[in-house]
């Protein structure tokens, strides 16, 4: 046994000693020659010692001191977890195309990119009772006994970063992000349990000009990808409309958030269920009937006749006036039933929708002037939107607007002889150094295979490294689109 240990590193021997002390007490069958001299997994031994030294505390790595002779292999489910997606090359090209348009529009509007951890403190997303998002969190306790969650949205993380930066960040802030979000919710078309979301936010501007700018950016994005005002529109309202109405009937501020969550489901639930839910939060039948009547209003003039000329009406009028100046008035319409389901909205709210009515909301946002104080910071005027990647792809499919995005290569380099693989690698390095995408054939393949590979990759040129040409300091070139062939000196290759 001692001689066997000499082959093991001294560090591992330290962890083996406690095991050797108890050897005489174990059955001799354990030490059959086959087991005794089986390969030792140092990690398993170190993990066992770690568990002993830490008293087996939660989170310590543990492992068996003796490896089993054979381990059964269970075939895994090759599908991703329910509600999630893989991105093979063709899907990744589409995702990159979409993200490029998100980022390019943000750049055109002068926004700076930010990002945040996918894993955040659970407390960041637990605000007010009644929000659906509380029940949709992927949350757990980590090994440090901290409650954490996969982010279901980006805005609270943005608020945390704004508070962290404090006065060192000059206002106004114009930030954007494209990040993955997670929600455990019922899946429908365009709704998954993970998705990527484009957010644009303006911090430090109290005027409605900020909302007008954000809607303009979304319209610009739609135009870039071929979507028109006849395909999609924006429903616009203000949380202040609902506040003014409830204030008439002395409904408490505490009930306001709950009412917003219920109203947000008005197109998803039967009206009798909506009435029942409103009644459960303390609204009388009279209030419910007038509330539903106001929410059915589709005209600012009609709303002003009901509520009078208050702050909500003034904000909305200003926004619609700005829409004319920006040039997107044909994209927007007033709809009092739009309130958005998240508790932090305080003013103008909006949703993008497909006019055919086949899909859920494409995007949505609004003003959230009091969000920072819910995290202990000083409130700043703020507004923003979230735009998911799933619904817009469904809309592009509906409109036959999905781009054709195939693999595109500048060159394929192939050695015609096994001994010229090094020379082919040199050519590939030269071309890559000039910024050209170049696929190097790594095995000794027949030319028929190489041509098929070039066709699949939509390569522009095939560079052939042959013995005679290489001896002259040259390579063969074939332009695949035209079939033109020629030889060229290596130092002239571009």
Q: Two tokens at 182? A: 């997670």
Q: Two tokens at 73? A: 């292999």
Q: Two tokens at 428? A: 């590939």
Apex CA 264: angle with CA 260 and CA 267, to 5°? 150
Tell me if 154 is assigned to a ligand binding site: yes
Tell me if 460 is assigned to a ligand binding site: no
Question: What CA–CA distance (Å, rounded) separates 459 from 481?
Answer: 9
Q: How many residues does the chain have?
A: 494
Q: Two tokens at 424? A: 């082919």
Q: Two tokens at 225? A: 């990808």
CA 268 to chain centre: 25
Question: What CA–CA distance (Å, rounded) separates 41 from 39?
Answer: 7
Q: Where are the alpha helices (DSSP H) in 327-446?
A: 389-398, 421-433
Tell me if 344 is assigned to a ligand binding site: yes
Tell me if 153 is assigned to a ligand binding site: yes
Question: What CA–CA distance (Å, rounded) separates 93 from 112?
Answer: 24
Question: What CA–CA distance (Å, rounded) separates 439 from 442?
Answer: 9
The phi and psi torsions of 213 (rounded to 5 degrees) equal -65, -40
| Pairing mode, strands 112-113 and 173-182 | parallel
Tell me if 201 is assigned to a ligand binding site: yes
Q: Two tokens at 203? A: 């911090």
Give the largest CA-CA distance in the chain.
97
CB contact set of 372 (below 8 Å; sequence gap of 6+): 159, 162, 163, 378, 379, 380, 382
Tell me if 345 is assigned to a ligand binding site: yes
| Pairing mode, strands 348-354 and 332-334 | unpaired
Helix (H, G, I), strand (E, B) or coil at 77: coil
**Do 264 and 339 meet the contact criterion of CB atoms below 8 Å apart?**
yes
Binding site residues for L-histidine, as ranges? Answer: 153-155, 183, 197, 201, 340, 344-345
Residues of the binding site? 153-155, 183, 197, 201, 340, 344-345
């Amino acid at each position: 046994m001692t001689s066997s240990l000499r082959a093991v590193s001294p560090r591992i021997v330290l962890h083996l000693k406690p095991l050797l002390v108890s050897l005489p007490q174990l059955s001799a069958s354990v030490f059959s020659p086959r087991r005794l001299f089986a390969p030792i997994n140092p990690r398993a031994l170190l993990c066992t010692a770690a568990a002993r030294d830490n008293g087996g505390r939660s989170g310590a790595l543990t492992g068996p001191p003796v490896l089993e002779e054979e381990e059964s292999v269970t075939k895994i489910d090759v599908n991703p977890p329910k509600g999630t997606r893989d991105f093979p090359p063709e899907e990744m090209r589409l995702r990159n195309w979409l993200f490029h348009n998100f980022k390019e529009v943000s750049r055109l509007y002068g926004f700076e990119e930010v990002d945040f951890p996918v894993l955040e403190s659970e407390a960041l997303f637990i605000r007010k009772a009644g929000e659906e998002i509380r029940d949709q969190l992927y949350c757990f306790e980590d090994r440090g006994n901290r409650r954490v969650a996969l982010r279901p949205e980006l805005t609270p993380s943005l608020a945390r970063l704004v508070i962290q930066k404090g006065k060192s960040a000059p206002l106004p802030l114009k930030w954007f992000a494209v990040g993955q979000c997670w929600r455990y919710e019922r899946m429908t078309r365009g709704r998954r349990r993970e998705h990527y979301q484009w957010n644009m936010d303006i911090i430090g501007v109290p005027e409605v000009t900020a909302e007008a700018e954000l809607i303009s950016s979304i319209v610009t994005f739609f135009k870039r990808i071929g979507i028109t005002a006849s395909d999609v529109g924006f429903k616009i309202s203000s949380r202040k409309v609902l506040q003014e109405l409830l204030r008439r009937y002395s409904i408490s501020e505490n009930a306001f958030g709950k009412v917003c969550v219920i109203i947000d489901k008005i197109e998803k639930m039967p009206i009798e269920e909506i009435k029942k839910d409103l009644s459960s939060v303390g609204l009388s039948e009279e209030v419910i009937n007038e509330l539903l009547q106001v929410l059915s209003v589709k005209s600012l003039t009609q709303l002003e006749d009901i509520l009078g000329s208050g702050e909500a009406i003034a904000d909305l009028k200003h926004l619609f006036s700005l829409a004319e100046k920006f040039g997107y008035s044909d994209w927007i319409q007033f709809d009092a039933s739009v309130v958005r389901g998240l508790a932090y909205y305080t003013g103008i709210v909006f949703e993008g929708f497909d006019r055919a009515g086949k899909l859920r909301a494409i995007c949505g946002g609004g003003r959230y002037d009091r969000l920072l104080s819910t995290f202990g910071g000083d409130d700043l005027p703020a507004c923003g939107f979230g735009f998911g990647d799933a619904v817009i792809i469904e809309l592009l499919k509906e409109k036959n607007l999905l781009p054709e995005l195939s693999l595109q290569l500048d060159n394929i380099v192939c050695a015609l002889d096994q001994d010229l693989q090094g020379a082919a690698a040199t050519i590939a390095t030269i071309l890559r150094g000039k910024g050209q995408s170049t696929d190097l054939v790594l095995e000794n393949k027949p030319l028929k295979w190489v041509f098929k590979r070039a066709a699949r990759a939509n390569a522009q040129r095939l560079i052939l490294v042959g013995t005679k040409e290489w001896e002259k300091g040259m390579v063969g070139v074939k332009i695949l689109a035209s079939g033109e062939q020629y030889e060229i000196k290596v130092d002239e290759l571009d």
